[in-house]
C-alpha cells in the first residue's frame, strides 16, 4: 500500500473521529408506547380517530400513597389531602383528583349540595365513611386499595407528553412528595415510564460498552500478546463504534429500547473483521512476503470475504425492515449501517496502520500457534473419519428443534419487559397487585340512526356491557357516562349504596339528565363526544399476557354481539393496550417474511460468488440449524416471542453466515490453486479455522455481556444469540466439510472451470 495513501486514510479517519466525538453529546433518546404500534393496522387507524375525538388513554400519572396501618388516620389524611391539592400546580398537569377531594351529591329541600366522601376533620365518622367507600365500585382499585391501606392521586397530563416535559414533571413531583415524609409511595404512568426507561437505555449503553470493551481487551491480549497488536486492534474497534455513534447523532436518529445492543454489536462485529484481517496479514508475513505484498494479498483475499460477510450481516439486520414496529425497523437499519461502518473502518484504517508493522510487532509467535494447528488438525480429521456420526447428530438436532419450535408462545407480558430490580418495576407490580393495572382497554360506543349516545336506550346497553366487564376479575377501573345517572339515582335515594344503579325507566332517566346538567361535579367531560353520537367505556386490564387478553377480548366481542341491541348501538374494543398487544399477530409473520427475504438475498450473493448450485446449498444448510435451535430454545425455555426477541433471528442469520463465507472462500481459493477436495479442506482448517473459532468465542462472550443488563429482553437476546452462534461454529466446522465431501465429487475439469470463474469474481 502506497505510504501516501496510508497517511491520507489515517488522516481522514482522524478527522471523522473528532467530528463524531464532538457530536455524541447530541445523541437523542426516546421512549413512548406509540413506537410499538404496528403501522398500517386497521385497528390502529381506528384508535387514532378515537383519541382525536376524545383524548389519549395513557395521558395519566398515578401516585399511590401507602400507610401500613390503614389510611383512615386524621394526620395522614390531612397530609395526603394537602399533597393532592398541590399536585394540580405541577407542570404539564391539567387535572388532579383523589378520594379526599371527592364529594357525594346530596339533595336537600332547598338545593343539591355535596357531602365529602371522607370527613377528614371528623374521625368519629371514619368507620362509616370507610364502609361506604369500600362498597363503591367507583373508588375501590381506582382511588383506594381493597384493604384500605393505600390512597391514590390521579393526575391527568397533557396529551402525548414527551421526554423533556415528562422529566420536568417527575422532577417536580419528586420534590413535592419528599416534603410530606410519606411511609411509602409508588408511581405509574406514561411520564414516569418515559423518564425511567430512557435512563435505563443510557445506563445499558454505557455498561454494555464498558464490559464489552474490557472483554475484547482481554481477548486481544491473549491473541496478540504484543502492545502494538493489542493497541491497533482495540483502537480500530473503538474507532468503528465512535464513528457509528457519531453517525446516529449527526443524522438525528433517536435511540430507543433496542439501543443497548448497539455497542455490543459494533464491538463484536468490528472485532471479527479485525481478527480476520490481522490474522491473514500475519500469516502472509510468516510466509516470507514483504509487508506491501502481504497487505495487498490480505485485502484481496480476506477483504473480499469480509465484504461479503459484512453485506450478509447487514442484510440480516435489514430484513427487520419488514416489521410493522418502528423500533424494530430502526434497529435493523441502524445495525446494518453500523456493520458497513465497521467494515469500512477495518478495510481502510486498520489495513493502513498494520502495514507499518512486522509480524513480531503485532503478535507473539510460539506455542500458541502450535496449539491452534493441533486443534484444527484434530477437527479436520474428525470430520473426515466420522461423517455418519455428524449427519446423525445433525438430524437429531433438527428433530429436537422442531419439537421446541412447536411450543413457542407469544403470550408476553409487560412485567417481563420491566427492568430487573428497579423501583419502576416494584411500582408497576404494586399497582398490578393492589390497584388498577397499567394496560388501558377502551370500548368505543357508537349510537346508530337517530339515537344519541346519551339517550336512555343507548346508556342502558352500555350498562349491560359494564356489568359483564365487572364479572371479569382482570378488568378493573371501569367507567362511563352511566356513572352520572347511577350517582344521581343513589342521591335521590338517600345515598344508599345499593341504589347505585340506572333509573328504572326512561322518564326517570330524562329527569336525571336535566339534573346532571346542573351538577358540575358530574360533568360527562371526556366520556361523551361533543355531538353526543359517540361515547366510551374506559377500563384497565391486569398484566395477564397478550394471548390471554386476546382470548378474553374475543369472548367480550362475542358476548356483546349476542346480548346487546346492535340496531341502536355498536361497540368496538380499542385502546393503547390492545394496539400494542396486536404486535403478537405480526411478529411471526414479519419474522418469517424478513428471514425469507434475507435468505433469498444471501443466496443470490452466494450464487454470484460460487456460481454453483451445490455450493449454494452447502452454504445455506449450516446456517439454518442455528435459526432452528434459537426457535427451539424459545419453546423449551418458555420465552415469549415478542417484538424485541424477534430480532434474535435476524442477528443470528446475519452473523452466523459470516464464518461460512470465510470457510468456503478459503476452500475455493485452495481449489483455485489446483488442490483436490481433501487438501483444500485441510488447508482451510489450518488457515481459517483459528480465525473462525476466535471470532465465534468473541461473539459468544460478547453477547453474554447482555447478561449484565437489567432489561429482561436484552438478557434473553444475549443468551439466545450466544448459544446459537456457538452452535453455528460447530455447524460450520462439522457439517460444511461433510457436505462438501458428499456433494463436491472430484472432477478435474470442474475444478479448472470453477477456478477460472472464481478468478473473474476476485
Residue 699 in domain? yes
Statement to judge: residues 646 and 759 lie in one domain: yes
In this structure, are residues 242 and 15 in contact, taking their beta carbons and an 8 Å threshold?
no
Tell me how far CA of residue 728 lies from CA of 98, 628, 722, in angstroms.
58, 11, 10
Of the candidates 93, 138, 718, 124, the one whose C-alpha atom is nearest the C-alpha of residue 480 is 138
Residue ranges in 251-290 assigned as alpha helix (H): 261-286
Neighbours of 204 (CB within 10 A): 24
Q: What is the pLDDT of residue 98?
A: 92
Which of the 8 DSSP states describes residue 519?
Answer: -
| DSSP H or E segment with residue 116 | strand 112-116
Query: How far does CA 391 lie from the centroid of its chain?
Result: 37
Provide the residue range defining the domain that includes 501. 425-581
In this structure, are residues 133 and 117 in contact, taking their beta carbons and an 8 Å threshold?
yes
Give the phi and the psi of residue 569 in degrees, each rounded to 5: -150, 150
In this structure, are residues 315 and 676 in contact, taking their beta carbons and an 8 Å threshold?
no
Residue 190 in domain? yes
> Which cell numbers in the block locate residue 98?
383523589
Statement to judge: residues 663 and 639 lie in one domain: yes
In this structure, are residues 148 and 71 in contact, taking their beta carbons and an 8 Å threshold?
yes
Distance CA 242, CA 246 (A): 6
Q: Is pLDDT above 80 for 367? A: no
Tell me how far CA of residue 360 lies from CA of 129, 298, 374, 694, in angstroms.
85, 17, 22, 20
Q: What is the pLDDT of residue 523?
A: 46
Q: Is pLDDT above 70 for 745? A: no
Question: What share of the chain has pLDDT > 70, as a percent?
Answer: 90
- pTM of the model as a whole: 0.78
Q: Which of 38-47, 352-361, 447-456, 564-573 has the lowest mean pLDDT?
A: 38-47
Statement to judge: residues 371 and 345 lie in one domain: no
Statement to judge: residues 183 and 294 lie in one domain: no
Q: What is the pLDDT of residue 233?
A: 86
Which of the 8 DSSP states describes residue 346?
Answer: I
Of the candidates 140, 8, 32, 53, the one whose C-alpha atom is nearest the C-alpha of residue 442 is 53
Q: How confident is the model at residue 746 (pLDDT cuts 50, 70, 90)?
A: low
| DSSP H or E segment with residue 16 | helix 3-23
Residue ranges in 345-454 assigned as alpha helix (H): 351-354, 359-362, 367-385, 387-405, 423-434
Distance CA 208, CA 707 (A): 10
Q: What is the pLDDT of residue 762?
A: 40
Q: Classify residue 119 as exposed, middle or buried by CB count within 10 Å of its CB (0-12, 13-18, 19+).
A: middle
Q: Is pLDDT above 80 for 472? A: yes
Q: Which of 74-88, 99-113, 397-411, 743-757 has the lowest mean pLDDT?
A: 743-757
Per-residue burial over 34-43, b if 16 or more Cβ lie within 10 Å, else e, is ebbbbeebeb
Q: What is the pLDDT of residue 595?
A: 65
Q: What is the pLDDT of residues 266-322, one digit of tens each?
A: 887 888 788 878 888 888 888 888 888 888 888 887 887 788 878 878 887 887 777
Distance CA 151, CA 157 (A): 19
What is the DSSP annotation of 42-90? HHHHHHHHHHHHS--TT-EEEEEEE-TT-S--HHHHHHHHHHHHHGGGS
Statement to judge: residues 492 and 589 lie in one domain: no
| DSSP H or E segment with residue 152 | strand 150-157
Pick from 581, 602, 627: which residue ends a domain? 581
All residues at 6 or more sequence positions from 404 whose CB lies less than 8 Å from its CB, including other chains:
631, 632, 633, 634, 635, 636
Statement to judge: residues 619 and 762 lie in one domain: yes
Neighbours of 21 (CB within 10 A): 13
Pick from 581, 608, 634: which residue ends a domain? 581
Give the phi and the psi of residue 718 in degrees, each rounded to 5: -60, -45
* H and E: helices and strands count for the chain: 26, 12
What is the DSSP annotation of 524-582? -GGGB-TTSSEEEEEEEE----HHHHHHHHHHHHHHHHHHS-TTTEEEEEE-HHHHHHT
> Which cell numbers in the block locate residue 30?
426516546
Give me the chain's average pLDDT, please. Answer: 83
All residues at 6 or more sequence positions from 89 whose CB lies less than 8 Å from its CB, including other chains:
none
| Highest mean pLDDT (candidates 90-94, 159-163, 671-675) | 90-94
Distance CA 474, CA 74 (A): 33
Distance CA 229, CA 611 (A): 37
Pick from 581, 607, 626: which residue ends a domain? 581
Statement to judge: residues 92 and 21 lie in one domain: no
Residue 211 in domain? no
Residue 414 in domain? no
Neighbours of 751 (CB within 10 A): 18
Say if strands 150-157 and 93-98 run parallel, antiparallel, or are unpaired: antiparallel
Tell me how far CA of residue 425 lies from CA of 178, 197, 462, in angstroms.
20, 11, 35
In this structure, are residues 300 and 292 in contact, taking their beta carbons and an 8 Å threshold?
no
* 3-state percent breakdown (helix, strand, coil) of the chain, nearest 5: 70, 10, 25
In this structure, are residues 241 and 270 in contact, taking their beta carbons and an 8 Å threshold?
yes
Distance CA 45, CA 68 (A): 45
Statement to judge: residues 628 and 683 lie in one domain: yes
For cell 356483546, what's the residue? Answer: 560
> Which cell numbers in the block locate residue 730?
460447530
Distance CA 137, CA 142 (A): 9
Statement to judge: residues 542 and 532 lie in one domain: yes
Statement to judge: residues 258 and 370 lie in one domain: no
Residue 742 in domain? yes
Distance CA 96, CA 173 (A): 13
Question: What share of the chain has pLDDT > 90, as a percent?
Answer: 22
Statement to judge: residues 187 and 259 lie in one domain: no
Q: Is pLDDT above 80 for 604? A: no
Distance CA 589, CA 593 (A): 6
Residue 67 in domain? yes
Say if strands 93-98 and 475-479 run parallel, antiparallel, or are unpaired: unpaired
Q: What is the pLDDT of residues 394-444, one digit of tens each?
A: 899 889 988 988 888 877 777 887 888 889 999 999 998 898 878 888 899
Q: Is pLDDT above 80 for 223? A: no
Residue 32 in domain? no
Which of the 8 DSSP states describes residue 497?
Answer: G
Residue 218 in domain? no
Statement to judge: residues 526 and 513 lie in one domain: yes
Distance CA 137, CA 522 (A): 16
Say if strands 439-447 and 534-541 run parallel, antiparallel, or are unpaired: antiparallel
Tell me how far CA of residue 439 lies from CA of 154, 190, 368, 467, 542, in angstroms.
16, 11, 57, 20, 7
For cell 449484565, what's the residue? Answer: 708
All residues at 6 or more sequence positions from 380 whose CB lies less than 8 Å from its CB, including other chains:
681, 682, 685, 686, 689, 737
Domain CATH code at residue 392: 1.20.1640.10
Across 592-751, the runs of DSSP E, i.e. the strands, are none
Domain total in the chain: 4
Q: How confident is the model at residue 34 (pLDDT cuts 50, 70, 90)?
A: low
Q: Which residues are bridge partners to 155 per DSSP? A: 61, 96
Q: Which of 265-279, 468-482, 602-616 has the lowest mean pLDDT?
A: 602-616
Domain CATH code at residue 167: 3.30.310
Amino acid at each position: 500500500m502506497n505510504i501516501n495513501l496510508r497517511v491520507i486514510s489515517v488522516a481522514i479517519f482522524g478527522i471523522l473521529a473528532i467530528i463524531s466525538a464532538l457530536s455524541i453529546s447530541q445523541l437523542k433518546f426516546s421512549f413512548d408506547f406509540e413506537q410499538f404500534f404496528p403501522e398500517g393496522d386497521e385497528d390502529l387507524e381506528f384508535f387514532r380517530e378515537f383519541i382525536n375525538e376524545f383524548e389519549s388513554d395513557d395521558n395519566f400519572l398515578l401516585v399511590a400513597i401507602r400507610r401500613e396501618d390503614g389510611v383512615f388516620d386524621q394526620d395522614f389524611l390531612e397530609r395526603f389531602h394537602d399533597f393532592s391539592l398541590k399536585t394540580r400546580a405541577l407542570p404539564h398537569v391539567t387535572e388532579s383528583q383523589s378520594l379526599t377531594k371527592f364529594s357525594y351529591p346530596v339533595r336537600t329541600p332547598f338545593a343539591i349540595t355535596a357531602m365529602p366522601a371522607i370527613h377528614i376533620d371528623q374521625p368519629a365518622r371514619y368507620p362509616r365513611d370507610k364502609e361506604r367507600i369500600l362498597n363503591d365500585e367507583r373508588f375501590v382499585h381506582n382511588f383506594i386499595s381493597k384493604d384500605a391501606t393505600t390512597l391514590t392521586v390521579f393526575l391527568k397530563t397533557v396529551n402525548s407528553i414527551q421526554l423533556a416535559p415528562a422529566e420536568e414533571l417527575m422532577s417536580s413531583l419528586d420534590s413535592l412528595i419528599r416534603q410530606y415524609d410519606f411511609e411509602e409511595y409508588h408511581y405509574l404512568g406514561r411520564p414516569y415510564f418515559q423518564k425511567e426507561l430512557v435512563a435505563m437505555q443510557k445506563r445499558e449503553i454505557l455498561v454494555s460498552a464498558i464490559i464489552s470493551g474490557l472483554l475484547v481487551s482481554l481477548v486481544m491480549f491473549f491473541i496478540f500478546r504484543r502492545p502494538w497488536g493489542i493497541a491497533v486492534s482495540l483502537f480500530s474497534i473503538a474507532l468503528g463504534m465512535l464513528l457509528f455513534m457519531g453517525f446516529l447523532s449527526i443524522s438525528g436518529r433517536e435511540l430507543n429500547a433496542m439501543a443497548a445492543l448497539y455497542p455490543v454489536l459494533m464491538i463484536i462485529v468490528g472485532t471479527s473483521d479485525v481478527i480476520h484481517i490481522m490474522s491473514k496479514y500475519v500469516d502472509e508475513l510468516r510466509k516470507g512476503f514483504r509487508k506491501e505484498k502481504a497487505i495487498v494479498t490480505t485485502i484481496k483475499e480476506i477483504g473480499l470475504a469480509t465484504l461479503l460477510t459484512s453485506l450478509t450481516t447487514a442484510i440480516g439486520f435489514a430484513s427487520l425492515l419488514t416489521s410493522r414496529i418502528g423500533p424494530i425497523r430502526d434497529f435493523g437499519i441502524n445495525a446494518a449501517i453500523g456493520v458497513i461502518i465497521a467494515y469500512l473502518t477495518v478495510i481502510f484504517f486498520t489495513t493502513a496502520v498494520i502495514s507499518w508493522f512486522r509480524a513480531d510487532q503485532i503478535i507473539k509467535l510460539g506455542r500458541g500457534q502450535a496449539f491452534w494447528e493441533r486443534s484444527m488438525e484434530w477437527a479436520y480429521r474428525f470430520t473426515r473419519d466420522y461423517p455418519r456420526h455428524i449427519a446423525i447428530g445433525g438430524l437429531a438436532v433438527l428433530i429436537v428443534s422442531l419439537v421446541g419450535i412447536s411450543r413457542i408462545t407469544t403470550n408476553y407480558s409487560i412485567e417481563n419487559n420491566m427492568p430487573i430490580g428497579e423501583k419502576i418495576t416494584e411500582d408497576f407490580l404494586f399497582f398490578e397487585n393492589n390497584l388498577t393495572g397499567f394496560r388501558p382497554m377502551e370500548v368505543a360506543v357508537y349510537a346508530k340512526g337517530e339515537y344519541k349516545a346519551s339517550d336512555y336506550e343507548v346508556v342502558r346497553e352500555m350498562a349491560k356491557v359494564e356489568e359483564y366487564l365487572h364479572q371479569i376479575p382482570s378488568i378493573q377501573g371501569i367507567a362511563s357516562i352511566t356513572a352520572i345517572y347511577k350517582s344521581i339515582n343513589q342521591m335521590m335515594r338517600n345515598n344508599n349504596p345499593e341504589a347505585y344503579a340506572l333509573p328504572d325507566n326512561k322518564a326517570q332517566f330524562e329527569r336525571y339528565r336535566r339534573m346532571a346538567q346542573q351538577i358540575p361535579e358530574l360533568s360527562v367531560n371526556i366520556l361523551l363526544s361533543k355531538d353526543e353520537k359517540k361515547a366510551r367505556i374506559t377500563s384497565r386490564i391486569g398484566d395477564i399476557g397478550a394471548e390471554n387478553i386476546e382470548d378474553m377480548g374475543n369472548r367480550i366481542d362475542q358476548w356483546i354481539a349476542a346480548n346487546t341491541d346492535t340496531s341502536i348501538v355498536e361497540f368496538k374494543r380499542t385502546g393503547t393496550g390492545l394496539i400494542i398487544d396486536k404486535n403478537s399477530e405480526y411478529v411471526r409473520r414479519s419474522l418469517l417474511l424478513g428471514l425469507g427475504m434475507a435468505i433469498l438475498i444471501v443466496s443470490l450473493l452466494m450464487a454470484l460468488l460460487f456460481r454453483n448450485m451445490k455450493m449454494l446449498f452447502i452454504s445455506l444448510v449450516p446456517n439454518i440449524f442455528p435459526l432452528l435451535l434459537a426457535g427451539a430454545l424459545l419453546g423449551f425455555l418458555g420465552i415469549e416471542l415478542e417484538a424485541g426477541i424477534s430480532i434474535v433471528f435476524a442477528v443470528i442469520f446475519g452473523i452466523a453466515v459470516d464464518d461460512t463465507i470465510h470457510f468456503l472462500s478459503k476452500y475455493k481459493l485452495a481449489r483455485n490453486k489446483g488442490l483436490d477436495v481433501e487438501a483444500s479442506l485441510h488447508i482451510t482448517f489450518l488457515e481459517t479455522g483459528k480465525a473462525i473459532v476466535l471470532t465465534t468465542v468473541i461473539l459468544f462472550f460478547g453477547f453474554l455481556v447482555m447478561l449484565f443488563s437489567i432489561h429482561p429482553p436484552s438478557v434473553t437476546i444475549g443468551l439466545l444469540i450466544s448459544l446459537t452462534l456457538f452452535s453455528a461454529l460447530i455447524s460450520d466446522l462439522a457439517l460444511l466439510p461433510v457436505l462438501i465431501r458428499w456433494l463436491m465429487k472430484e472432477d478435474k475439469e470442474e475444478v479448472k472451470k470453477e477456478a477460472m470463474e472464481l478468478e473473474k469474481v476476485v
